[in-house]
């Protein structure tokens, strides 16, 4: 690493430390400053000093450079009042009656809707959950965990994050309707940094459905860094469906680290829909800690202009008799760039594994770029594992056929693009959510016309 790079990171770290110290100075009460949560956050900021932010010299960040984001003088924001009507436009009332609203990264209880939670569902702040004996040890463990290659961004989140959400579903409890976490950005003239945090525990034989929405009220110009983490503990025979629909500002930097722990016969289904953002990086990993676990990871990414969207997955088959399925599809046009790096590991003695991974992309212009690298790392001999990647263009014969049936050129191309991502969307088992995602994708297609 060059001295210039070290100096650049040192300046960024100093700035982030100043943001942390300014927050402490703003507190009037010493009790909270000296609380265990504050100590965990201090530990994270101290750890950041010895960590290096990734550069393009790191293999997993070979095609994605966040250095330009680290140069910006980000501010850490507090609450920001918005017109209720603007917020209502982003609520999924017909899909998720339980809604947690965040404005510029700050959880706004007044705007949230969670008065009548069903029996067996518990929602609170991570800080309050830390003070409860049944949750404390796992939360402390999460603060001590580092994610290889992304440790600096993880430490930054844990140090600056103060509005994290903790969700617990009790044993044998099924939460019938999804829970919406609605994140809205309205930053104005100053670049800002948000640190979304989501910690979820799904006890044995429980079921939960979470939808994270990320939107900017000024989709064209707001500059901010949304550096988030999500941690899931999916116990034996539990089923968690997790959607993240990202439609950030076109000048926003977005990075999310998702870590999943899965017990015996558990199911985790993760969807990532990427529509907005300037530079976007999604890291998702799942460790199957019990036999019979099943993991599904799905992604759709649509990039135009100079957008850069990077999906990284790590599927860790740490137990025998498990299955996994990964399917990511993207469409790139203009000067957009896409990246997919998926790794499936089958550990020693993890026999009878069935794993599938596929990444397919359409590159519609000569200036758009796609880099893809599916990987298998297998240390067991009784497994069925496959992976693949395709990069291509629209079939002009199909375009001609549709035009011969009366469609315009743009309508024909939009129809073929929609059909291309349909294989992923068909895995959404909630009709209202399917229709919502489909309408967002159609809006994105319209931008390309």
Helices (H), 119-257: 126-130, 133-144, 151-160
Backbone angles phi, psi at 19, to 5 degrees: -60, -40
Please provide the DSSP assignment of 285-344 as one string.
Answer: EEEE-STT-EEEEEEEEEE-TT-EEEEEEEEEE-SSS-EEEEEEEEEE-TT-EEEEEEEE
91-108 pLDDT, tens digit per residue, is: 999 999 999 999 988 898
Given a contact cutoff of 8 angstroms between Cβ atoms, the answer to whether 313 and 295 are in contact is no
Res 31: pLDDT: 47
User: Which pLDDT belongs to residue 33?
Assistant: 58
The predicted pLDDT at position 8 comes to: 64
**pLDDT recorded at residue 219:** 67
- Helices and strands (H and E) in the chain: how many: 11, 21
Which of the residues in the chain have pLDDT under 50?
A: 1-6, 29, 31
For residue 306 the two structure tokens come to: 């100079």
Buried b (16+ CB within 10 A) or exposed e, 411-420: ebbbebbeeb
The pLDDT value recorded for residue 1 is: 38
pLDDT at site 195: 95
Residue 422's contacts (CB-CB under 8 Å, 6 or more residues apart) are none
Alpha helices in 225-288 (DSSP H): none
- Given a contact cutoff of 8 angstroms between Cβ atoms, the answer to whether 260 and 297 are in contact is no
Strands 165-169 and 121-125: antiparallel
Which tens digits make up the pLDDT trace of 222-251? 899 999 999 999 999 999 999 999 999 999
Query: What is residue 115's DSSP assignment?
Result: S
Spatial separation of the C-alpha atoms in residues 238 and 226, rounded to whole Å: 29
């Amino acid at each position: 690493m060059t001295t210039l790079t070290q100096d650049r990171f040192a300046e960024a770290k100093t700035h982030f430390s100043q943001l942390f110290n300014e927050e402490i100075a703003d507190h009037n009460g010493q009790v909270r400053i000296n609380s265990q949560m504050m100590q965990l956050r201090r530990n994270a900021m101290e750890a950041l000093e010895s960590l290096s932010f990734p550069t393009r010299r790191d293999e997993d960040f070979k095609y994605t450079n966040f250095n330009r984001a680290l140069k910006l003088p980000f501010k850490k924001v507090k609450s920001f009042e918005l017109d209720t009507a603007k917020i209502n436009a982003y609520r999924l009332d017909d899909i998720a009656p339980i809604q947690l609203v965040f404005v510029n990264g700050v959880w706004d209880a007044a705007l949230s809707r969670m008065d009548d939670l069903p029996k067996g569902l518990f929602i609170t702040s991570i800080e309050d959950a830390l003070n409860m004996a049944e949750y404390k040890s796992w939360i402390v463990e999460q603060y001590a965990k580092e994610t290889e290659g992304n440790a600096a961004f993880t430490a930054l989140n844990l140090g600056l994050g103060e509005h994290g959400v903790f969700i617990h579903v009790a044993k044998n409890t099924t939460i019938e309707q999804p829970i919406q976490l609605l994140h809205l950005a309205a930053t104005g003239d100053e670049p800002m940094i948000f640190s979304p945090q989501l910690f979820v525990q799904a006890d044995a034989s429980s079921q939960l459905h979470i939808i994270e929405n990320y939107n900017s009220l000024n989709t064209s110009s707001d500059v901010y860094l949304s550096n988030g983490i999500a941690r899931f503990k999916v116990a034996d025979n539990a089923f968690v469906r997790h959607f993240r629909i990202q439609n950030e500002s076109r000048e926003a930097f977005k990075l999310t680290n998702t870590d999943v722990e899965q017990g015996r016969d558990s199911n985790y289904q993760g969807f990532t829909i990427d529509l907005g953002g300037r530079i976007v990086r999604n890291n998702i990993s799942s460790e199957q800690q019990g036999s019979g676990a099943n993991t599904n990871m799905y992604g759709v990414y649509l990039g135009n202009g100079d957008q850069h969207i990077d999906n990284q997955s790590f599927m860790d088959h740490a137990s025998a008799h498990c299955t996994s399925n990964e399917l990511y599809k993207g469409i790139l046009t203009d000067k957009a760039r896409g990246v997919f790096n998926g790794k499936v590991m089958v550990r020693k003695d993890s026999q009878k594994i069935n794993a599938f991974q596929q990444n397919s992309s359409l590159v519609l212009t000569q200036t758009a770029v796609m880099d893809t690298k599916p990987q298998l790392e297998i240390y067991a001999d009784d497994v069925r594992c496959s992976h693949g990647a395709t990069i291509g263009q629209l079939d002009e014969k199909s375009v001609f056929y549709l035009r011969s049936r009366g469609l315009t050129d743009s309508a024909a191309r939009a129809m073929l693009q929609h059909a291309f991502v349909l294989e992923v969307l068909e895995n959404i088992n909630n009709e209202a959510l399917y229709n919502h995602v489909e309408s967002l994708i159609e809006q994105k297609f319209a931008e390309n016309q």
